[in-house]
Amino acid sequence: MPQRLHLVFGGELIDPQRTEFRDTSQIHMVGIFPDYATAYAAWKAEAQRTVDSAHTRYFIAHLHRLRDEETAASPTEELGA
């Protein structure tokens, strides 16, 4: 079974109605998690910790959806190509 990796990250947004970060160098990388349940727990903890900041949001990115291991890699993805 392939791994289903999830990235949890967040930070201060320019506008709470959008998903544009105020300063991308200040994005908080919570971590990469092996399944959705642990990623959700980490996301929830950070969201609750920052509940008083209307401009701060945390997200879960489904890393396993970004890469299909069955598809051949492009030359830019291969080291030394």
Each residue's pLDDT tens digit, 9-28: 999 999 999 999 999 999 99
Percentage of the chain exceeding pLDDT 70:
79
pLDDT of residue 64: 78
Q: Does pLDDT of 69 surpass 70? A: no
| pTM for the predicted model, two decimal places | 0.77
Superfamily designation of domain 6-59: Uncharacterised protein PF13773, DUF4170 (3.30.70.2400)
- Say if CB 45 and CB 33 are below 8 A apart: no
**What element of type H or E holds 59?**
strand 56-62
